[in-house]
Amino acid sequence: MRVMVLIKATEQSEAGEMPSEELLSQMMAFNEELVKAGVMLAGDGLHPSSKGARVVFSGDERKVIDGPFAETKELLAGYWLWEVKSLDEAIEWVKRVPSPMPGTEAVIEVRPVFEADDFGDEFTPELREKEQRLREQTEARR
Amino acid sequence: MPATAINRTIDAVWRIESARLIAGLARITGDVGLAEDLAQEALLAALEQWPESGVPDKPGAWLMATAKHRAIDRLRRAEVHERKTRELGRELEIRGDVESPDLAAAIDDPFDDDLLRLVFTICHPVLSTDARVALTLRLLGGLTTKEIARAYLVSEATIAQRIVRAKRTLSAAQVPFEVPGHAELDDRLASVLEVIYLIFNEGYAATAGDDWMRPELIDEALRLGRILAELLPSEPEVHGLLALMELQASRSRARTGSSGEPILLLDQDRSRWDWLLVGRGLAALERAQNVGGALGPYTLQAAIAACHARARVADDTDWERIVALYDALAQLTPSPVVELNRAVAIGMAFGPAAALELVDALGSEPALRSYHLLPTVRGDLLVKLGRAEEAQAEFERAASLAQNTRERAVLLERMAACSPRNGG
Q: Check whether A117 has a pLDDT greater than 60.
A: no
Mean of pLDDT values over B246-254: 93
Cα atoms found within 13 Å of the Cα of residue A127, Cβ hemisphere only = 7
Q: What integer is the mean pLDDT of A87-110? A: 90
pLDDT given for residue A86 in this prediction: 93
CA distance B191 to B105: 33
Q: How far apart are CA A136 and CA B310, in angstroms?
A: 10
Q: Are B373 and B341 in contact (CB under 8 A)?
A: no
Best probe of the A interface among B16, B118, B217, B220, by most A CBs < 10 A, is B16
Q: Is A137 on the interface with B (CB under 8 A)?
A: no
Please check the confidence at residue B67 and state whether its pLDDT lies above 80. Answer: yes
Q: For the residues A73-82, what does the mean pLDDT come to?
A: 94
Based on the number of CB atoms within 10 Å of its own CB, is B92 exposed (0-12), middle (13-18) or buried (19 or more)? exposed
pLDDT band at A62 (very low <50, low <70, confident <90, very high): very high
Band of pLDDT at residue B213, cut at 50, 70 and 90? confident
Closest CA to B341 of B328, B323, B357: B323
Q: Are B318 and B311 in contact (CB under 8 A)?
A: yes
pLDDT at B101 over 60: no
Q: Is B36 helix (H, G, I), strand (E, B) or coil?
A: helix
Can you give the pTM of this predicted structure?
0.85
pLDDT exceeding 70 applies to what percent of chain B? 90
Residue B106 has pLDDT above 50, yes or no: no
Of B12, B224, B275, the CB nearest to A89: B12
What per-residue confidence (pLDDT) applies to B2?
Answer: 73
pLDDT category, A139, cuts 50, 70, 90?
Answer: low
Say if CB B124 and CB B33 are below 8 A apart.
Answer: no
Number of H helices, E strands in chain B: 20, 0
Average pLDDT over residues B130-149: 93
Residue A109's φ and ψ, nearest 5 degrees, are -110, 140
Interface of B with A (CB under 8 A): 8-9, 11-13, 15-16, 219, 222-227, 230-231, 253, 258, 269-273, 275-276, 278-280, 312
- What DSSP character marks residue A115? P
Does the CB of A88 have a partner CB in chain B at under 8 Å? yes
Q: Residue B366 has what pLDDT?
A: 85
Mean pLDDT of B380-389: 94
**For residue B92, what pLDDT is reported?**
39
Of A60-74, A114-128, B227-241, least confident by mean pLDDT is A114-128
Highest mean pLDDT among B99-108, B118-127, B149-158, B212-221: B118-127
The alpha helices in A37-122, defined as continuous H runs, are: 87-95
C-alpha–C-alpha distance, residues B196 and B226, integer Å: 11
Examine the pLDDT at A107 and tell me if it is beyond 60. yes
Q: Where are the alpha helices (DSSP H) in B88-214?
A: 95-98, 103-107, 114-122, 129-135, 145-151, 156-172, 182-204
Asked whether the predicted pLDDT for residue B83 surpasses 60, the reply is: yes
CA distance between the termini of chain A: 23
* Spatial contact of A113 and A81, defined as CB atoms under 8 Å apart: yes
Q: Among candidates B326, B325, B306, which has minimal Cα distance to B317? A: B306
Query: Is the minimum CB–CB distance between A4 and chain B shorter than 8 Å?
Result: no
Amino acid at B7: N
Poorest-confidence range of A88-102, A120-134, B346-360, B376-390?
A: A120-134
Query: Is a pLDDT exceeding 70 seen at residue B374?
Result: yes
Q: Which DSSP helix (H) or strand (E) runs through A40?
A: strand A40-45
Selected for mutation to probe chain B from A36, A87, A94 (highest B CB count within 10 Å) is A36
What was the pLDDT predicted at B320? 96
What pLDDT score does A128 carry?
Answer: 59
Average pLDDT, chain B: 88
Quote the pLDDT of residue B284. Answer: 98
Q: Which of B3-12, B91-100, B126-135, B411-420 shows the highest mean pLDDT?
A: B126-135
Best CA proximity match to B352, nearest among B361, B363, B342, B343: B343
pLDDT of residue B153: 82
Q: Residue B150: which pLDDT band, with cuts at 50, 70 and 90?
A: confident
